[in-house]
Amino acid sequence: MTQTGRDRRQPRSKARIGATILALAGALTVPAVPAIAQQKPVASDALDAARAVFEALPEAERKAIQDALVWTGDYNGTVDGTFGKRTFDAIRAFETRSGLAADGILTPAERDALLAAARRERDAAGFAVIDEPRSGIRIGVPRKMLTERSDTARGAIFRAKRGGGSLMTDTIPASTGARLEDLYADLIAALPGRRITYKVLRDTWFVVSGEQGGMRFFTRFAATRDGLSGFTVTYPPAAAATFDRLAIAITNSFDPEPGTAAPATADAVGAAPAAPTVPGDNAFTAVILDSGKALTSAAATACKAPTVAGRPVTFTARGETALTEGSFRMQGAPVAWHRPAGADVEVFVLGHATVGGERRLIATPGRLKVASDGTARLAAPVQPGMAGAPVIDRSGALVALTGPLPQTMARVAGIALSPGVPATLAERFAEGVGLPEATATDDATGLGAAAAAWQARIVAVDCTGG
């Protein structure tokens, strides 16, 4: 290897650590697309609708979806719970392969199907996250595939029988003087038979992947308090279909210092701290009807000085709903109502939610459950500000309004938890507000299409006076 001036000043043992790592491991690469590529924001109506649904979910569920998409072979990014074009495209790929509407939005039933498919793949690999004692890292190991283990001086090698692939863990003590950028430079250096396909260096970690000696390799190292820790995965190109997704799953499981996280603490009596809460009833959503009036939940009449789109309004109660005294300019498709097609139906909820201190239009799937006495409850991740939000069925018609939300709602990872809220069926108020009945249709709409058709009719109601 040709050395730079900086390389020549390094001790020979230090400059050759990268080569030694690849030699020991036998060599992985990121699949055709880099394994931990970062997501880029992309603006489009369909993507925005899908983002609204995704971001309304608790963080743990968002990460579970991304992890499942890794195992189905559709996602090759970081499992971090954030939504970008990479997650959007991955969901659409899964939907297309499953014969579903490729809108980037997973209904509860579709999420269950995705998680089940991922579980089968994970179980087939015997994937388990372990604390590897010799290197001190936490990492996922496909135990049913890499069945043979041997220890090294600073880690372990997990190998498949008959050269089917390997995973090597390693730690490089600070006493060696090795720096992250030096190890990175050694791994990306031009050598006969080595081809680098992806490389990225950050302040505290790096990733290098490529091919060497007829094997693909993927190496990730991170700086720790005690030196450098990381791993290398290698496999033959013939095993890429299996190992590509394994490499991503292993990367997303990697924790170079598992002992540094602050332990969870309980209160004095040993119970977990209560989840923080947010007010659920200080803002609402209204629907602009064809009459030009705004329709929302009757709970909005408790507002002392309500505003719609920044305009002061007065609400008059109409049973379980309320109408504005003034009128608004009508936009978008006409509003019509429809009876739910059963006692448990798939619906969409669209409203101006308060998430992270901001009001924004949220579109989320859910289920409307209708009791024999005509009362209804909505099972959906409804957020503060969405009381009065329209509940729309698969035909695109209004079937209910979201009822009043609890005065306080538990919040986890910035998302309010709403296991179920009351809903007012459209047939109970349609005549009183002059709402026409929708023409029966067998056509089904997706959440993205519903959001696009309804968004011009949905406005935020703010309770500025309490």
**Of 421, 425, 426, which is closest to residue 387 (Cα–Cα)?**
421
Which pLDDT tens digit goes with each residue over 165-174?
Answer: 999 999 999 9
CA distance 23 to 18: 9
In 3-state terms, what secondary structure has residue 366? strand
In terms of domains, do 247 and 300 share one?
no
Q: Do 117 and 208 fall within a single domain?
A: yes
Out of 196, 226, 259, a domain closes at 259
Together in a domain, 163 and 21 = yes
For range 352-369, the mean pLDDT: 77
- 273 within domain boundaries: no
- Whether residue 217 is found in the same domain as residue 302: no
Does residue 278 belong to any structural domain of this protein?
no
Q: pLDDT at position 18, please?
A: 58
Sign of CA dihedral 244, 245, 248, 250: negative
Q: Are strands 277-279 and 408-412 parallel, antiparallel or unpaired?
A: antiparallel
Write down which residue in 259, 274, 292 finishes a domain. 259
- Indicate the pLDDT class of residue 355, thresholds 50, 70 and 90: low
Is 160 among the domain residues?
yes
pLDDT score of 30 more than 80: no
Give a yes or no: residue 97 inside a domain.
yes
* Mean pLDDT to the nearest integer, 298-320: 83
CB 228 within 8 A of CB 172: yes
Q: Which of 229, 222, 170 is nearest to 201 (CA)?
A: 222
Give residue 298's domain range: 283-463
Q: Are residues 453 and 332 in the same domain?
A: yes
337 and 402 share a domain? yes
pLDDT at 440 over 60: yes
Is 429 among the domain residues?
yes
Q: Do 335 and 438 sit in the same domain of this protein?
A: yes
pLDDT at 41 over 50: no
Map residue 291 onto helix, strand or coil.
coil
Question: What integer is the mean pLDDT of 36-51?
Answer: 62
Q: How far apart are CA 265 and CA 406, in angstroms?
A: 28
The verdict on residue 266 lying in a domain is: no
Torsion of CA 302, 296, 455, 332, to 10 degrees: -130
Q: Per-residue pLDDT averaged across 18-44, rounded? A: 46
Task: Please tell me the distance from the alpha carbon of residue 434 to that of residue 295, in angstroms, as a whole number.
Answer: 11
| pLDDT for residue 282 is more than 80 | no
What pLDDT is recorded for position 443?
A: 60
Q: What is the CA radius of gyration of the chain?
A: 27
Range of weakest confidence among 11-15, 121-125, 395-399, 447-451: 11-15
First to last CA, the chain: 72
245: how many CB neighbours lie within 10 A of its CB? 22
pLDDT in tens, 78-102: 888 888 899 999 999 999 999 998 8
Percent of the chain exceeding pLDDT 90 equals 31
pLDDT of residue 432 exceeding 90, the answer is: no
**CATH number of 204's domain:** 3.40.1000.10
Query: Regarding predicted confidence, which is higher, 411 or 22?
Result: 22
Q: Which residue has the tokens 């659920």?
A: 280
- Residue 394 resides in a domain: yes
CATH number at residue 324: 2.40.10.10
Q: Is residue 322 part of a domain?
A: yes
pLDDT for position 257: 92
* Single-letter amino acid, residue 372: S
Q: Give long-range contacts, CB 8 A cutoff, 24+ apart: 357-360.
A: 359/283, 359/385, 359/460, 359/462, 360/52
Same domain, 19 and 90: yes
Do both 221 and 362 map to the same domain?
Answer: no
Specify the 3-state DSSP secondary structure of 209.
strand
Residues 46 and 187 in one domain: yes
Contact 65, 71 (CB under 8 A): no
Is the pLDDT confidence value at 151 over 80? Answer: yes
Mean pLDDT value of segment 212-237: 92
Burial pattern 36-71, b for ≥16 Cβ within 10 A else e, equals beebeeeeeebbbbbbbbbbbbbeebbbbbbbbbbb
List the alpha helices (DSSP H) in 189-259.
Answer: 240-253
Instruction: Please tell me the total count of domains within the chain.
Output: 2
Domain end marker among 243, 259, 275:
259
Answer whether residue 308 shows pLDDT above 60. Answer: yes
Side chain identity at 299, as an amino acid letter? A
Domain shared by 254 and 308, yes or no:
no
Same domain membership, residue 69 and residue 216: yes
Say if residues 385 and 56 touch (Cβ distance below 8 Å): no
